[in-house]
Amino acid sequence: MLALPAPAALAVDDKRVAQAFAEQARYLAKEAQSYEHGEGVPRDQPYAARLYCESARLGDPEAMYSLGWMYANGRGVERNDAYANTLFAMAAFIGNTHAERMQRYTGDYTGAVPDCLHTPSEILQQRWPVEGLIARLSAERQAVARMLADLAPQYGIQPALALAIGLTESALNPEALSPKNAMGVMQLIPETALRFNVSRPYDPEQNIRGGLAYLRWLLAYFEGDIALAAAGYNAGEGAVDRHRGVPPYRETRAYVDRILRHVGQHRHPFDSAVVGPSRMLRSLRLAAQEDHET
């Protein structure tokens, strides 16, 4: 029987998840600043505003302030004083001193915010009810699912995504073996098992930890893009880089579609300290910017 983690351990895991969200928000804000001012990338203020808005939605006060400034001055977005006032008030409440000073000139909190600050309705409707899902499994699979859901936050991964990968890979079977020698719950091929220090691939916990470590790496490498991370898990990150996106393999595309349907979202927090981003991502952005300017 698997032991449940102690409350103190769960509190630590919650802190790690919160830290991952904060790091993702900070990363997006820095990326937005680069596009706002054209620092190392083509200047694109509308794109910067979108990045700031996602960062602000995740709780970053600097992003709230910067987006408020853009709305106050009509830079990259249509000027909207009500949005600016609310964003400055939100940032000031969290402790941003620049926003506090701006409030003297712009006014008080109005409650009006741009649509991008609201959680998309499709995420609220489609996100997996993790506990309900686990309850419907057999007793044997419940034990594996619980282990997977409990270990996921230690790697900065949302349990819904971890379960989606585990169920799609092996139906949570610790003894699964594919024709390509992918092993265990997370279907680790020998090279991946070696890469993430898995010496006993049929030990459920060690296998799950190896798979989660790889998924964390992929999320960092593809900057939180769940579709690319899932494609990398299925076909390898090299295939994603070569094809500049999800590879055109029928199996991989079906795999990615299933993962996205399960989790109901396209972005996930990631730890940028794990690995630097794929160069392919920057080249895609530059190509998109050139198309936009053309």
Active-site residues, by number, are: 169
Report yes or no: 66 and 32 within 8 Å, Cβ to Cβ.
yes
Return the residue matching tokens 């990968």: 165
Exposure pattern of 257-285 as b/e (b: 16+ CB <10 Å)?
Answer: eebbebbbbebbbbbeeebeebebbeeeb
Query: CA 45 to CA 75: how far, in whole Å?
Result: 7
Sign of CA dihedral 227, 232, 234, 235: positive
Report yes or no: 55 and 33 within 8 Å, Cβ to Cβ.
no
| Kind plus residue range of the DSSP H or E element containing 181 | none
Query: CA 119 to CA 41: how far, in whole Å?
Result: 28
Q: For residue 207, what are its two tokens?
A: 């296998």
Query: CA 235 to CA 247: how far, in whole Å?
Result: 8
Structural Rg of the chain based on CA atoms: 21
Report yes or no: 152 and 162 within 8 Å, Cβ to Cβ.
yes
Report yes or no: 107 and 85 within 8 Å, Cβ to Cβ.
yes
Report yes or no: 199 and 205 within 8 Å, Cβ to Cβ.
no
Sign of CA dihedral 56, 60, 64, 67: negative
